[in-house]
Amino acid sequence: MKAIKECFPVSFLCRYIIFCFVILILGCVRSQPQVDRFKELRENMVATQIEARGITNREVIEAMRNVERHLFVPETHIQHAYGDHPLPIGYGQTISQPYIVAFMTEILKLDKSSKVLEVGTGSGYQAAILAEICDSVYTIEIVEELGMRSSLLFKNLGYSNIKVKIGDGYEGWDEYSPFDAIIVTCAPTHVPEPLKNQLKEGGRMIIPVGERYVQELVLLTRKKGSLKQTSVLPVRFVPMVDEKDMIY
């Protein structure tokens, strides 16, 4: 009898542990197809939108394969996260089309030791792609809520190599300059002078330049002190604005 009494709490505990374990398994079984579905969509995105269109850099392709884009889009658009188009992320802003993200990343010719500045954190997706490839990523966002949201997401996903600043990216981030590469994901009407000055010798900057609906993706390279500028692709990005919502 004594033995039975002593056993009771143990068997109760055992049953409780088994119950929790079953709940956990059921949870996993239920969400697994969803996870696999996103992985499948991501693989398909890389094959049909990235590789098929000529992106060849292995690190860029790996990063596009690794970063779970659906975690960066609002819940309401999650099923379209891997579609061949930009998506709204709130506050009138958008996450860029996957191909544009890959194209802009590839053209910067990054490696592990690169220090990169991004202007326009938005959803944080582009910064996460950069952070898969490089040691240090600095990103600036003018909409406080977006900057805070991305900052929290980077923390949750373990991207300790991304630093977020909330402010006007027109001024760049002097404290950490010069940068090996600068990527701007909102469109000013001209290339900001402070960004030019923060580009290292041998560095590369990719930036959409133009009016609200007609812009060119421009590549700037600094060689022997001077900047060479070439247009690479017609694009349409959200405008770069200042803190009073004026378009630069």
Residues near ligand SAH (CB under 6 A): 93-96, 119-120, 122-123, 125-126, 140-143, 146, 168-170, 185-186, 238, 240-241
Q: What's the min distance (Å) between Cβ of 30 and ligand SAH?
A: 29
DSSP code at position 176: G
Distance of CA 40 to the CA centre of its chain: 20
Peptide bond into 178 cis (omega under 30): yes
Q: What's the min distance (Å) between Cβ of 139 and ligand SAH?
A: 8
Q: What's the min distance (Å) between Cβ of 26 and ligand SAH?
A: 34
Beta strands in the chain (DSSP E): 87-90, 93-95, 115-119, 136-141, 162-166, 179-184, 199-210, 215-223, 226-235
Q: Which of 96, 114, 123, 151 is catalytic?
A: 96
Nearer to ligand SAH, 130 or 219 (CB): 130
151 is catalytic: no
Q: What's the min distance (Å) between Cβ of 223 and ligand SAH?
A: 27
Q: What is the dihedral of CA 218, 244, 89, 151, to 10 degrees?
A: 90
Nearer to ligand SAH, 102 or 220 (CB): 102
Nearer to ligand SAH, 43 or 242 (CB): 242
Q: What is the three-class DSSP state of 212?
A: coil
Q: How far apart are CA 223 and CA 200, in angstroms?
A: 9
Residues assigned a catalytic role:
96
